[in-house]
Structure 1
């Protein structure tokens, strides 16, 4: 006879998003893992039961593109506040970028400082990116051995001129770095914009006194994205390096990457909620809270991105949560305002609300983009990214029938600027669970303890 409380928790009566189907199922958990999936699991066998009637249960988001600015810049955003926003947004694992912390994660010693800053201070699980920068090629193998998930490089200036900050790659560093990274069987993530094009156009705009949001957009055209993508693909073809293109803003960019994949290249592509929700018109309305690079595009480009998503050409959607103090968003001209969108808390609600509730895209496709695609690409698929027996019990519970207007007081991030404040979101996260433990609930807020662990 089964022992009483052989399960720690059963989530009952939820509409569960699996890899290939959506169906009413109960989920049984033990020791942080999913151990049973079935209809009408016996509630008497569990220590705790959660009734998810009327709610959709999805795998927690894996956000592979997050900037939490410790060590060194915790006054921008630290692990506590950043992971709080992610937990409230239905994200259960994130991968922290090697900038803008000081020092950036381009040495093992910097990585150790970052891990020390994160330890016991994150609400959800995390992995760490290493950086590829000039003068540090010899650090790639030690960083690999220390457990970074992959490497990140900028093909345009990251925007911080200070001596200690992360630097963009030159062509030599990019090519030689790819050779080393290919030998390590790791992925190189790239910010793909051509620095010669965007620097020249930006300087020309400043010289002419053309300093508005639309001038900024004009200074970073789609061709700058395409040139960098194609140059990186050419180098990767010579070296065999696996690539991941971050925050692609154009259909043409996605198509170039898709064609490379069809030729047999090991390459993936992400886009971000801001390119799917906002346009350059919003930049005038919302100001620097919506400034990013590549910049927001026009409404036609936004629709083309949704089209390639529906066709399955995009591998994942990530927030590119890039926070800064509010004062850095205030400048005399738009070029001088800090670029970066603080959107970690809103990704799931934006993509499920717009993609499924409004546009009717399948929840299985959106879960692939938010969870299982990232898990597979970055080696987390053994435990993360999917609701299946043996996986970590990482979930987000969503009410697809509840919409609300995002207000500043809803945000858990350190600095309360977001381009989505004042926007209607077309679904509502009710709770987030990490390895079977509730880390966020709509009414109760965040859990008292921080359960997040480093995922090597």
Structure 2
């Protein structure tokens, strides 16, 4: 077996560069680490023993993506998604590391015992590396520090009902108890930032037709998000040492709150999702529950402001929030948007989606990689291991064709339940090959992960 992998390309995206430049990267396959980077394109010479050569030519070499918001659902709901299919989909889109959310598996990742069940279920199934978030629910404050010591990267909580009984939301008092427990640790506290109250929903009553997207959109107004973020930032003033993170921001009206929190020195980070940046409520047809997610996709003007928030740095990173379910729960035949499970399946498409939409807005591939790789790695506590093509980091990289165009079909989707709002969409930019720690884990010419590409993902 080769001891070294050498990847040479004329367009390699190295840290600190705004455009790809010529480079040759050497990876020690035995350790999986990048050991050397030469800032020139070195053409292949005589084949040396123990060296595997990858010539990317004019294609772009990018660091592997880190998707810090993925629901893999195993154990307990493996018919929704599992480690094998979910990570297979991930590497097909250049995602070499995913961070699994504490729900919707059964049991949720709210105790060390439950985390161990996750580890057991994931063994020998992962095509990408996998890390784990823990969960905050009523009554588990005593489990938080043991979970942190066991390796979770932080904790997620809900301020509104989550949609699954085993992961209830927390009250303000319960939230404060958790913040007290975590304030002097390395943890980050993640919030599903919607806060329901009679005041926030009294104007949210439109049509009662459950097939209309407008009915659903009016049921989840932006005020749910702004009220939640106002509460979070007010609590942060009492617990300033604890980093708080807003997951899947959809409401642009929250950006002034975030700007004010940053100006006040609060340790607040924010993510948004591919669907909020690439879809628009005005283009969503009625009777199509595959577009339903919580919080909802909003109007085009809102989408434009989210892009501006990204460029300004108010929004730190972009993730998938891949949240699948079995097709029956999507109620596709009935077209019942209100009754359908809320979640959009995206794993494998995110880089192409952002490139397709971002090009219209003057966004560069370097900006996209910052939002989807280096910043997400830092957010998940993996910033010294993942997200950069740098000596000492894991040799995770992808070979990317920025000019390739393809139409999304169900056959191309590699996650388990092939329901997605992106089916039928034509995208630009495609991953040709994905390498994890210097080993090939995806090759488009082999139609994915063939039998000789065994799952080599590690649990981080």
Name the TM-score class by shorter chain. Answer: over 0.9
Query: Bigger shift: 250-259 or 321-330?
Result: 250-259
Q: 1:174 to 1:254 in 2, by over 3 A?
A: same
Q: For 1:428-439, list aligned pairs within 5 A.
A: 428-439=430-441
Partner of 1:227: 227
Q: Note if contact 2:204-2:220 (Cα within 8 Å) is conserved in structure 1.
A: no
* Aligned-pair CA distance for 1:311: 2.3
Partner of 1:375: 377
Give distance in 2, aligned partners of 1:365 and 1:276: 14
* Aligned-pair CA distance for 1:352: 2.3
Partner of 2:37: 37
* Aligned-pair CA distance for 1:18: 1.6
Give distance in 1, aligned partners of 2:147 and 2:341: 29
Q: For 1:48-447, list aligned pairs within 5 A.
A: 48-160=52-164, 162=165, 165-196=166-197, 200=201, 208=208, 212-240=212-240, 241-284=242-285, 287-330=288-331, 331=334, 333-355=336-358, 357-444=359-446, 445-447=448-450
* Aligned-pair CA distance for 1:310: 2.1
* Aligned-pair CA distance for 1:318: 0.3
Give distance in 2, aligned partners of 1:371 and 1:34: 17
Partner of 2:456: 451
Q: Note if contact 1:405-1:423 (Cα within 8 Å) is conserved in structure 2.
A: yes
Give distance in 2, aligned partners of 1:230 and 1:43: 60
Following TM superposition, the consecutive aligned residue runs of length 4 or more in structure 1 with deviations greater than 4 angstroms are 197-206, 208-211
Q: Note if contact 2:210-2:338 (Cα within 8 Å) is conserved in structure 1.
A: no
Query: Bigger shift: 361-370 or 411-420?
Result: 361-370
Partner of 1:20: 16
* Aligned-pair CA distance for 1:245: 0.5
* TM-score of the pair, normalised by structure 2: 0.92
More helix by share: 1
Q: Note if contact 2:287-2:337 (Cα within 8 Å) is conserved in structure 1.
A: no
5+ long unaligned stretches in structure 2: none
Give distance in 2, aligned partners of 1:20 and 1:366: 13
* Aligned-pair CA distance for 1:96: 0.2
Give distance in 2, aligned partners of 1:227 and 1:152: 18
2:27 is paired with a residue whose SS is strand
Give distance in 1, aligned partners of 2:12 and 2:330: 40
* TM-score of the pair, normalised by structure 1: 0.93
* Aligned-pair CA distance for 1:305: 1.2
Query: Bigger shift: 149-158 or 192-201?
Result: 192-201
* Aligned-pair CA distance for 1:201: 5.5
* Aligned-pair CA distance for 1:203: 9.1
Q: Note if contact 1:108-1:143 (Cα within 8 Å) is conserved in structure 2.
A: yes
1:259 is paired with a residue whose SS is helix
Q: Note if contact 1:188-1:243 (Cα within 8 Å) is conserved in structure 2.
A: yes
Q: Note if contact 2:2-2:52 (Cα within 8 Å) is conserved in structure 1.
A: no
1:426 is paired with a residue whose SS is strand
Q: Note if contact 2:292-2:344 (Cα within 8 Å) is conserved in structure 1.
A: yes
- 1:286-307 per-residue CA deviation (whole Å, 9 max, x = no partner) reads 7111100110110111111112
* Aligned-pair CA distance for 1:362: 2.4
* Aligned-pair CA distance for 1:271: 0.5
Q: Note if contact 1:198-1:219 (Cα within 8 Å) is conserved in structure 2.
A: no
2:375 is paired with a residue whose SS is helix
Q: Note if contact 1:205-1:211 (Cα within 8 Å) is conserved in structure 2.
A: no
5+ long unaligned stretches in structure 1: none
* Aligned-pair CA distance for 1:27: 1.4
- 1:355-404 per-residue CA deviation (whole Å, 9 max, x = no partner) reads 2x433312222111011111122221221110111111101211011111
1:427 is paired with a residue whose SS is strand
Q: Note if contact 1:354-1:426 (Cα within 8 Å) is conserved in structure 2.
A: no
How many residues matched?
A: 446
